Amino acid sequence: MAIDIVILAAGKGTRMRSDLPKVLHPIGGVPMLGRVIETAKQLGDVKITVVIGHGAELVRERFADSGVQFVEQEEQLGTGHAVAQAIPHFRDGATVLVLYGDVPLVRASTLRQLLQESENGPALLSVIMDDPSGYGRIVRDKDGQVQAIVEQKDADAETLKIDEINTGILAAPGHLLAQWLPELSNNNAQGEYYLTDVIARSVRENIAVTGVIGSDAVEVAGVNSRIQQAELERALQRDQAEVQMALGVTLMDPARFDLRGTLECGADVTIDINCVFEGSVKLGNGVRIGPNCLLKNCQLAAGTVVEANSIIEDASVGEACNIGPFARLRPGTELANGAKVGNFVETKKAKIGVGSKVNHLSYIGDAEVGDDVNIGAGTITCNYDGVNKSKTIIGDRAFIGSNSALVAPVEIGAGATVGAGSTITREVSADELAVARGKQRNISGWQRPVKKS
């Protein structure tokens, strides 16, 4: 079935009080409109048209590569007027599905159900609400057949008591909408062209309307304010947490887990509280992540442990590594199996070999470190002269004494030793000892100056 999807995204979003167009605000790290587009793409043979207005340029730019097309609605004259802008893009014989850029959590399965019901006439998605105020009400006859949608502002006291509300999501044969939308009137309380008026029109034409009652209010909830955005964020995070737990991940507290991207875990992964996962993250079997960690676009192989308050970004980590607490692995870090990067250590574009240790208070950048190397506390690779970045190469089994400065470009050979406190500016050959620091002088009988009383 050919499905032409129209996503309404022209509204201003005044209550967000933001310079950013509303549909660009994120839920789970993805702009709301992006979520709707991704869901729409799951429905099969789709052509997606996004109706933009406020902040049109920013929305267009952000989704330029998403394969959707845009139509501009210069004045927001109502939802019916908005959908009508897309009529030139309707394909012959297609079903049209109307979605909203600010209703980000709608599920493909629900939409498929709605589409099935819309082959011959309109199908709308409704939900039952304890407090239906503000929404359009679904009016059914005594046989339960949908008759009309009446907006809150146009409703009489009897209609206001109806608790079945219109979510706004609707599917209908495209040729019917193409005929009816241009004929809508704006003779109503808001002076708008209501999409919802196509329901009564269909009934007048003796084309039955199907009302599909959804079971999940969160799925069809719209975002008009930061508070609603936060509510949907929590709902999404709870769902994502439950997916991970169902797959066998231990979350120390599912209410304090944030995934803004994708997370793939092996068996028996444990994630402590307040961790944030961004982009694409893969954790191997038995990986343990301590509290308050940020992991972005990285993979950690089996058995690796990340202690509290560590940050790992664009990095790849081998098996059984130990990271943190308070470590920062910046882009281009590659740890081989069994490597250790301890507290207050920062790495960037650094390869650290099998079993090598950088345990305390170091900066290792633009470096290649071999296997079984020990880098003492406070060691710094001086990789930047203010203009150029240069490389430090450290061979297998080298031992770098504490508080050394390795001035790049420089190479330390395999098995070499650097004395503590050295500033190394020249190559150290394999198995040599390099000591580059002031020689200690001891002066006996030295009198310290004394204060005159």
* Contact between 81 and ligand UD1 per CB under 6 A: yes
Q: Choose, by CB under 6 A, the member of 146, 149, 336, 380 that binds ligand UD1.
A: 149
CA distance 19 to 11: 13
Structure tokens that stand for 433 in this block: 């000892």
**Burial class of residue 217 in the structure, from the number of CB atoms within 10 Å of its CB (0-12 exposed, 13-18 middle, 19+ buried):** middle
Q: Choose, by CB under 6 A, the member of 95, 110, 166, 237 that binds ligand UD1.
A: 166
If you search the block for the tokens 């999409």, which residue do you land on? 195
* Contact between 31 and ligand UD1 per CB under 6 A: no
* Contact between 83 and ligand UD1 per CB under 6 A: no
Distance of closest approach, residue 11 Cβ to ligand UD1, in angstroms: 2
* Marked catalytic residue, from 54, 89, 175, 360: 360
Site for ligand UD1 in 183-222 (CB under 6 A): 194-196, 222
Nearest Cα to 16, choosing from 219, 226, 309? Answer: 226
* Contact between 79 and ligand UD1 per CB under 6 A: yes
> Is 360 marked active-site?
yes
Q: Which is nearer to ligand UD1, 167 or 383 (CB)?
A: 167
Question: How many chain residues interact with ligand UD1 (CB under 6 A)?
Answer: 25
Q: Choose, by CB under 6 A, the member of 5, 8, 269, 358 that binds ligand UD1.
A: 8
Distance of closest approach, residue 12 Cβ to ligand UD1, in angstroms: 8
Q: In a 3-state reduction of DSSP, which class is residue 26?
A: strand
Which region, judged by CB under 6 A, interacts with ligand UD1, from 4-12, 244-252, 357-365, 425-433?
4-12
Q: Which is nearer to ligand UD1, 73 or 417 (CB)?
A: 73
Strands 26-27 and 30-31: antiparallel
Q: Which helix (H) or strand (E) holds 50?
A: strand 46-52
Nearest Cα to 172, choosing from 49, 303, 412, 1? Answer: 1
CA distance 318 to 182: 62
Number of other CB atoms surrounding residue 115 within 10 Å: 17
Distance of closest approach, residue 385 Cβ to ligand UD1, in angstroms: 53
Q: Choose, by CB under 6 A, the member of 31, 104, 121, 136 that binds ligand UD1.
A: 136
Q: Which is nearer to ligand UD1, 102 or 307 (CB)?
A: 102
Q: Which is nearer to ligand UD1, 195 or 293 (CB)?
A: 195
Q: Choose, by CB under 6 A, the member of 31, 34, 55, 78 that binds ligand UD1.
A: 78
- The mark string for 101-130 relative to ligand UD1 (x by CB under 6 A, - otherwise) is -x----------------------------
Site for ligand UD1 in 217-276 (CB under 6 A): 222
Torsion 194-200-205-211 (CA) sign: positive
Which region, judged by CB under 6 A, interacts with ligand UD1, from 70-78, 334-342, 361-369, 439-447?
70-78
Fill in the DSSP letter of residue 392: E
CA distance 169 to 139: 16
E-only strand ranges, 43-197 = 46-52, 69-72, 95-100, 123-128, 137-140, 146-150, 164-173
Site for ligand UD1 in 337-376 (CB under 6 A): none
Composition of the chain by helix, strand, coil, percent to 5? 20, 35, 45
CA distance 345 to 362: 5
Q: Which is nearer to ligand UD1, 81 or 351 (CB)?
A: 81
Q: Choose, by CB under 6 A, the member of 2, 30, 58, 77 that binds ligand UD1.
A: 77
Strands 288-289 and 417-418: unpaired
Q: Which is nearer to ligand UD1, 8 or 265 (CB)?
A: 8
Q: Which is nearer to ligand UD1, 77 or 305 (CB)?
A: 77
Q: Which helix (H) or strand (E) holds 159?
A: helix 157-160
59 Cβ contact partners less than 8 Å away, ≥ 6 residues apart? 9, 21, 23, 24, 33, 50, 52, 70
Site for ligand UD1 in 385-424 (CB under 6 A): none
450 Cβ contact partners less than 8 Å away, ≥ 6 residues apart? none
Distance of closest approach, residue 315 Cβ to ligand UD1, in angstroms: 39
Q: Choose, by CB under 6 A, the member of 135, 180, 277, 363 that binds ligand UD1.
A: 135
Structure tokens that stand for 76 in this block: 């927001």
Q: Choose, by CB under 6 A, the member of 3, 4, 11, 422 that binds ligand UD1.
A: 11
Distance of closest approach, residue 196 Cβ to ligand UD1, in angstroms: 4
Crossing angle for the helix pair 108-116 and 32-41, to the nearest 10 degrees: 50
Q: Choose, by CB under 6 A, the member of 94, 165, 300, 336 that binds ligand UD1.
A: 165
Helix locations, 42-107, DSSP H: 56-62, 79-84
- Note the residues at the interface with ligand UD1 (CB under 6 A): 8, 10-11, 51, 73, 76-79, 81-82, 100, 102, 135-136, 149, 151, 165-168, 194-196, 222
Catalytic residues: 360
